[in-house]
Amino acid sequence: MTEIPEHLLKRAQAARDKAAVEGGATGEAAAGAAAATGGDAPAADPRIPAHLLERSKARQAAGSGGGVAVQEKVASVVAAAPTGGSLPVGAGPGGHTQRLLTVVKSGSIQDVKASPVDKVHTWPHLLAAEFVAALACLSFTFFFSIFVNAPLLQQANINKTPNPSKAPWYFLGLQELLTMFHPMIAGVTIPGVGMIVLILAPYIDKNPSNKPEDRKFATSLMTVHLMFWAVLVIIGSFFRGPGFNFTLPWRDGLFFEL
């Protein structure tokens, strides 16, 4: 419980002493009035101020008619008051007559700065997960190579070149470009420009959001890159036949080997 300051305690004590002195003076005045009227007047309530008592006695002394009217009014107020020790009119729980204006929550006056944090350290959170994923991929490749033989062809013959002669599937996109452009354009310029754009993409698109719908530039760039390369690889793998000429796989068959 919060301690009450010393100056407030002294002020409350002084107020209580003053009220006690005024209550004693009021009681003495009421006793003197009762003695002057023959002792029939009731004992004065110490909570009633002295000037109100003096005003009431002045009205009683002014005339019997006014006194009767005052007595009737007082009697009506007393009759309207609750009896039997019940709570006064307008009283709240426990008999309190004070009204509570509002309740201030303790949290509303505090400066809350707690905010969700969506960042973690690269080590160990990210690198540990990547290391475990790399070990899993290595283990899968190792055991797969034990039980499944690689699809190797016969020994190469220098006197016979296979037709069509195709690069591995992951290079077929580049080989497909060679059929459309000059080797300098297909082998250097286009791949180089694509790599430079991918390298500069994080510096061009500085959107901090992690939601895909907010990263339209990055999503569009990666989609165009993948679709462009995927289309070239598919054409080179399934739609190129002898002499690396365009063919239809459902008509002439597949000319593709891993």
- Does pLDDT of 151 surpass 70? yes
Reported as a single tens digit per residue, the pLDDT across 70-116 is: 455 545 544 444 555 555 555 555 555 565 555 555 555 555 566 66
What pLDDT does 116 receive?
63
Percentage, residues of the chain above pLDDT 90: 19
- Does pLDDT of 236 surpass 80? yes
What pLDDT does 78 receive?
45
pTM, to two decimals: 0.43
Looking at domain 162-252, which CATH architecture does it have?
Answer: Orthogonal Bundle (1.10)
**Around Cβ 97, how many Cβ atoms within 10 Å?**
10
| Residue 37 in tokens | 């009227």
pLDDT category, 62, cuts 50, 70, 90? confident
What pLDDT does 128 receive?
93
- Residue extents of the structural domains in the chain: 1-74, 162-252
Beta bridge partners of 246: 240
